[in-house]
Amino acid sequence: MMAVDPITDFDAFQVELARIEGEADWQALARTLREALHDLAIADAPQVGGRPKSAVESELWGRLGRLYRDRLGDTQAATTVFELLAARDPRDVEARAALAALRGEGILAALVAGDGRPRTVAALAGALGLELTLDDALLGARGTMALPPEGHPPLSGDVTSVSVTYDWDMFHEYPVATLEDLLRRTVREWTAVLAHPIAAVETVLTSAFGPPRLVASSRVFGSWIATSTSNASTALSFYPKLPDWAVAAPDTATRERALVELAATIAAGQDRTVLDRAAASIPPSCGLVIEARVAPSPGHVPKLAIELVPAMPAPELARVLGWPRPVGRTLAFHRDSWHVWLATDADGDAPRFERPSFGGWSVTATLDGHPRGRPLDPAHRGPIGDAYELTSEDLVRSLHVG
């Protein structure tokens, strides 16, 4: 239990932080910051210490990231924290600069060398060329977006710091990173950061890939633009303005039926042909964006990535797919690591948890941030390992099957 409640007495909490810092007890300071951030995440108070709660959260996240980086030497934890800060506010210059430094100069070399996957310098050069073109197109709309110049790092200089490296984890899901893959990752990053000047993005895509209707993965672009804005109301108001190559507004009944049919189709087999056929059978109007992927190692089953556009309330998704007792749970201290789990009773003991399934396969259903419901165990000082009830405000944006 924390000695001082940051929500009811933030000034006293600041004094407590200063005391711990003065004792140079860095582990205790990190633990205190984590507990405070957990309490703030589930608090209803719009203000803390006379300031907006979101501003206080950003300040504490920044302090935690610097603590991991400068005092504890935990670069992985620091990277996770600064990623969260950059996602909260893409114009957070400190977070983006910290990420560029933490990821280091070895990233480009790793992209070229890969881990058994062919990536060439020419392919990277092509991706960076599109990066520069897209950068010019998007920054040309800065005036209408009220984006300050310092809010968007320039692409000149060290090429390892550009956003083609920001989606590093995405490359692990592809056996081959072709030029088109690199270009698509680049486009996704910029649309996620700036989101709004769609006409400029469409012009660049047309130049790079030809007419939009000929782009095989055009629906993926549309879905990411529709869901990548930081606040749901912006995404909903902006969605109708997407170009023709974006996903059409889905019909709820069609989407539910498509999910059930997709699960049944996938349950019939685990080879690439089944996944391709399942993905091809889903109408664009249902609002599912599906991509079949094959794991690079021999013997691994294929995987299916499903994006829900717009996001779907977790209880509704659980009802459609027959998931009993869904809860929100995380095994990592990261905003994007909250997933849907199923709670099961074990002979009257505390609940145990298991992953849900989709067509007989294990599913990772990612929640949009911290669950809004009550904790199953109020005494648990999570969030790691903790579980929460799910409400209609808890949205699922993606499913990874396999």
Kindly list the distances between the CA atom of residue 135 and the CA atoms of 128, 150, 155, 156, 181, in Å, as whole numbers in the listed order. Answer: 10, 14, 8, 11, 18
Mean pLDDT highest for which of 85-89, 300-304, 349-353, 388-392? 388-392
Question: Please, what are the domains in the chain?
Answer: 10-103 (1.25.40.10), 106-241 (no CATH), 256-401 (no CATH)
Residue with tokens 């499903």: 306
14, 5 Cβ separation under 8 angstroms: no
Does the structure show a pLDDT above 50 at 38? yes
Determine phi and psi for 267, rounding to 5 degrees: -65, -20
Structure tokens at 349: 């003991």
In tens, the pLDDT along 169-192 reads 333 333 333 434 433 444 334 333
**SS3 per-residue string spanning 38-74:** HHHHHCCCCEECCEEHHHHHHHHHHHHHHHHHHHHCC
pLDDT at 256: 81
CA 112 – CA 171 distance, rounded (Å): 12
Q: How confident is the model at residue 384 (pLDDT cuts 50, 70, 90)?
A: low
222, 187 Cβ separation under 8 angstroms: no
In tens, the pLDDT along 303-328 reads 677 777 677 889 999 998 889 999 99
Residue with more model confidence, 64 or 372: 64
Structure tokens at 192: 């996620």
In tens, the pLDDT along 65-84 reads 999 988 888 877 888 898 88
- Angle at the Cα of 174 from the Cα atoms of 289 and 227, rounded to 5 degrees: 30
Mean pLDDT highest for which of 237-241, 261-265, 337-341? 337-341
pLDDT at 138: 35
CA 142 – CA 392 distance, rounded (Å): 35
Determine phi and psi for 320, rounding to 5 degrees: -65, -40
pLDDT at 264: 77
- pTM for this model (two decimals): 0.40
| Residue type at 90 in one-letter notation | P
Does the structure show a pLDDT above 80 at 243? no
Strand, helix or coil for residue 320: helix
- Angle at the Cα of 97 from the Cα atoms of 102 and 232, rounded to 5 degrees: 105
Q: How confident is the model at residue 353 (pLDDT cuts 50, 70, 90)?
A: confident
Rg (CA), the chain: 22
pLDDT at 283: 59
Residue with more model confidence, 377 or 396: 396
pLDDT at 262: 78
Does the structure show a pLDDT above 90 at 112? no
Kindly list the distances between the CA atom of residue 122 and the CA atoms of 119, 128, 174, 181, 213, in Å, as whole numbers in the listed order. Answer: 8, 10, 19, 13, 27
Q: How confident is the model at residue 287 (pLDDT cuts 50, 70, 90)?
A: low
Kindly list the distances between the CA atom of residue 254 and the CA atoms of 257, 260, 280, 285, in Å, as whole numbers in the listed order. Answer: 5, 10, 15, 8
CA 68 – CA 173 distance, rounded (Å): 28
Q: How confident is the model at residue 110 (pLDDT cuts 50, 70, 90)?
A: very low
According to DSSP, residue 274 is labeled: H
| Residue type at 179 in one-letter notation | L
Does the structure show a pLDDT above 70 at 115? no
Across the chain, mean pLDDT equals 63
Q: Which residues contact 322 (CB under 8 A, 6 or more apart)?
A: none
| 86-100, 143-157, 177-191, 333-347: range with lowest mean pLDDT | 143-157
| Residue type at 83 in one-letter notation | E
The percentage of residues in the chain with a pLDDT greater than 70, rounded to a whole number, is 45
Q: How confident is the model at residue 149 (pLDDT cuts 50, 70, 90)?
A: very low
Does the structure show a pLDDT above 90 at 15? yes
pLDDT at 158: 27
Structure tokens at 167: 């989606």
Q: How confident is the model at residue 400 (pLDDT cuts 50, 70, 90)?
A: confident
Does the structure show a pLDDT above 70 at 229? no
